[in-house]
């Protein structure tokens, strides 16, 4: 990154190629990310498809002790959070998460599944809150020190499905969920734009159907990627048959 005085700041890690891989689960509130992540983790564990490779399940915000405090500040309170403060709090959570959880896990060869990562910031704060996308990209680079996902599953369900699922889920809506409808449409457009831009890294998974149908679609993408990374082969396991 070039500073105003012309000097260079390099936040990237020289050892940025890791033996592990990072898969992120993205999509709108209520699309089913957490449901799918749990099903994928259960499948990977029970099928032993990863052999001795560790599986790490984490999330943003809130993947670290500091992050849990930040998550509370971001989502739970009735206090005002201006847009730039929201952006910076997410960046702080991410910086801690990357150094404390993601890099060590990837360096140890783990498969890491993260419930949200940088693409959420672009979709929510960039497209949803209409903040400057270049600024967001810069902040993301600082927060991640150049770490990117190896695969992102974008769970795409209609706004109506997401709303119905959020309402059916017990508990009050959080601060971002309470945002007006136009916001959620822009967030969806944001994920669509990102997926169009990076079709290899970001794969859309139709999340309008029931959880098993969605899982089957995600599993097909995952099997293909695991095979290309590690030559692992494993027949798809039907959830309905004890998989």
| Alpha helix positions (H), 169-237 | 181-197, 211-230
Smaller CB distance to Mg ion: residue 71 or 103?
71
According to the binding rule CB under 5 A, does residue 38 interact with Mg ion?
no
Part of the chain binding Mg ion (CB under 5 A), chosen from 5-13, 34-42, 46-54, 188-196: 34-42
Q: Residues interacting with ligand ATP, by CB under 6 A?
A: 27, 29-35, 165, 168-169, 207, 210-211, 214
State in angstroms the smallest separation of the CB of 144 from ligand ATP: 20
Question: Do 59 and 120 contact (CB within 8 A), yes or no?
Answer: no
- By C-beta, is 216 or 232 nearer to ligand ATP? 216
- Residue 32 touches which of Mg ion, ligand ATP, none (CB < 5 to 8 A by kind)? ligand ATP
Please count the residues of this chain forming the interface with Mg ion, following the rule CB under 5 A.
Answer: 1
Binds Mg ion by CB under 5 A, chosen from 34, 148, 179, 208? 34
Non-local CB neighbours of 71 within 8 Å, separated by 6+ positions:
61, 62, 93
CA distance 145 to 162: 32
CB closer to ligand ATP out of 139 and 163 = 163
DSSP assignment of 2-21, as one string? Answer: B-TTS-B-----TT---SSE
Which region holds residue 82: left if phi is over 0, alpha if psi is between -120 and 50, else beta? beta
Question: What is the contact surface with Mg ion in residues (CB under 5 A)?
Answer: 34
């Amino acid at each position: 990154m070039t500073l105003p005085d012309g000097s260079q700041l390099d936040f990237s890690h020289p050892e940025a190629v890791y033996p592990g891989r990072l898969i992120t689960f993205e999509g709108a509130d209520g699309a089913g990310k957490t449901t799918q992540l749990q099903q994928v983790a259960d499948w990977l564990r029970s099928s032993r498809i990863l052999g001795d490779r560790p599986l790490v399940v984490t999330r943003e915000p809130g993947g670290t002790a500091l992050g849990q405090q930040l998550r509370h500040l971001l989502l739970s309170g009735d206090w005002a959070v201006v847009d730039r403060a929201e952006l910076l709090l997410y960046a702080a959570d991410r910086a801690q998460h990357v150094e404390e959880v993601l890099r060590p896990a990837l360096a140890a060869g783990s498969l890491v599944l993260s419930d949200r990562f940088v693409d959420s910031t672009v979709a929510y704060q960039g497209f949803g809150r209409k903040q400057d996308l270049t600024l967001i990209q810069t902040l993301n680079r600082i927060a991640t020190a150049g770490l990117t996902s190896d695969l992102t599953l974008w769970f795409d369900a209609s706004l109506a499905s997401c709303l119905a699922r959020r309402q059916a889920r017990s508990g009050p809506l959080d601060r971002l969920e309470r945002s007006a409808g136009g916001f959620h449409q822009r967030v969806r457009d944001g994920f669509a734009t990102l997926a169009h831009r990076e079709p290899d890294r970001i794969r859309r998974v139709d999340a309008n159907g029931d959880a098993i149908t969605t899982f089957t679609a995600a599993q097909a993408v995952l099997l293909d990627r695991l095979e290309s990374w590690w030559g692992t082969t494993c027949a798809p396991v039907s959830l309905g048959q004890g998989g």
